[in-house]
């Protein structure tokens, strides 16, 4: 009887200890308002998450958690490329990355075409997002597509279109990876569908990159920055070419770190 009582006591204490440890672990996993949020970076057209490795390293040095979801059919997922991949596929990619990584209170940044993607993501999971950042990116409204936004400037896309794909003309046939790859035309033509009004209230910042010595009004994404300004978003300007992740990574990271 005494042995049975002792064993029950040990079992009880073991369960109590396990519950205490689980509770302590849960407390440590709760977001701390004083810590910096996670940043999810969505790359642009033809590119891949590989292009943001250096920016990730710099952000991590500043204490940020960084996630770089790879859009289907591009980058290291080029083997999954299909003509039926559209904008909605890429929105699913990022939504699922956020859900399966269980991310909350994030800064969601989209570069160039990535602006289309993060707009759709915000419509789906606005409760997971602290702020949106559009880096030289498209700012679509409901029913718009890349092609409808670029208008007359879309001729360069048409010139690179080969069947169901838009093929980057700057990539050489024998160029080793990593490099830009052909992208499904459907990602440029599929209109975005926005239904969640909660997404409209999310804080957002626009960063316009302008080449040194050039006028901001002559930039390809000037009209998008003005659209952001009309929505009341803070609009910042960074001296860099369109691919600031390569031409001005340190300045870009400093700017990102200053956004609240």
* Domains defined along the chain, listed by start: 34-258 (3.40.50.1820)
pLDDT per residue as tens digits for the range 17-33? 455 544 445 444 444 43
The residue to which tokens 């340190």 are assigned = 250
Residue pair 40/70 in contact (Cβ under 8 Å)? The answer is: no
Q: Which pLDDT value is given to residue 193?
A: 98
Q: Which pLDDT value is given to residue 111?
A: 98
What is the C-alpha separation between 22 and 108, in angstroms, rounded? 30
What is the C-alpha separation between 81 and 177, in angstroms, rounded? 16
pLDDT average, residue stretch 108-117: 98
pTM of the model: 0.87
Three-state DSSP at 143 gives coil
> Rounded to 5 degrees, what are φ and ψ at 192?
-80, 145
What is the C-alpha separation between 123 and 198, in angstroms, rounded? 8
pLDDT per residue as tens digits for the range 45-101? 999 999 999 999 999 999 999 999 999 999 999 999 999 999 999 999 999 999 999
Model confidence at 260, pLDDT cuts 50, 70, 90, reads confident
Q: Which residues are marked as active site?
A: 112
Q: Which pLDDT value is given to residue 36?
A: 72
Percent of the chain with pLDDT strictly greater than 90: 83
Q: Which pLDDT value is given to residue 33?
A: 39
Give the CA angle between residues 42, 54, 166 to the nearest 5°. Answer: 45
Other C-beta atoms lying within 10 Å of the C-beta of residue 41: 26
Evaluate if residue 16 carries a pLDDT over 80.
no
Tokens of 113: 């075409």
Provide the CB-side half-sphere exposure for 162 (13 A, CA).
Answer: 7
Q: Which pLDDT value is given to residue 212?
A: 95
């Amino acid at each position: 009887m005494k042995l049975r009582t002792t064993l029950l006591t040990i079992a009880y204490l073991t369960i109590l200890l396990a519950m205490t440890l689980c509770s302590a672990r849960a407390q440590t996993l709760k977001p701390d308002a004083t810590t910096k949020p996670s940043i999810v970076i969505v790359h642009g057209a033809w590119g891949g998450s590989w292009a943001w490795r250096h920016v990730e390293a710099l952000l991590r040095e500043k204490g940020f958690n960084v996630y770089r979801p790879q859009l289907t059919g591009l980058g290291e997922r080029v083997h999954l490329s299909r003509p039926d991949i559209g904008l909605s596929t890429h929105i699913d990619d990022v939504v699922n990355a956020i859900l399966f990584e269980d991310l909350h209170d994030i800064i969601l940044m989209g570069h160039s075409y990535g602006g289309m993607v993060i707009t759709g993501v915000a419509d789906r999971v606005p409760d997971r997002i602290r702020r949106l950042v559009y880096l030289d990116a498209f700012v679509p409204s409901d029913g718009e597509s890349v092609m409808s936004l670029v208008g007359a400037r879309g001729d360069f896309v048409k010139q690179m279109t080969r069947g169901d794909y838009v093929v980057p003309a700057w990539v050489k046939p024998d160029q080793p990876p990593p490099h830009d790859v052909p992208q499904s035309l459907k990602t440029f033509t599929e209109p975005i569908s926005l239904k969640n009004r909660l997404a409209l209230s999310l804080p957002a910042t626009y960063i316009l990159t302008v080449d040194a010595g050039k006028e901001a009004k002559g930039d390809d994404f000037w009209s998008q920055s003005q659209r952001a300004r009309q929505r009341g978003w803070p609009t910042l300007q960074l001296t860099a070419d369109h691919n600031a992740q390569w031409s001005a990574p340190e300045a870009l990271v400093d700017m990102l770190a200053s956004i609240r």
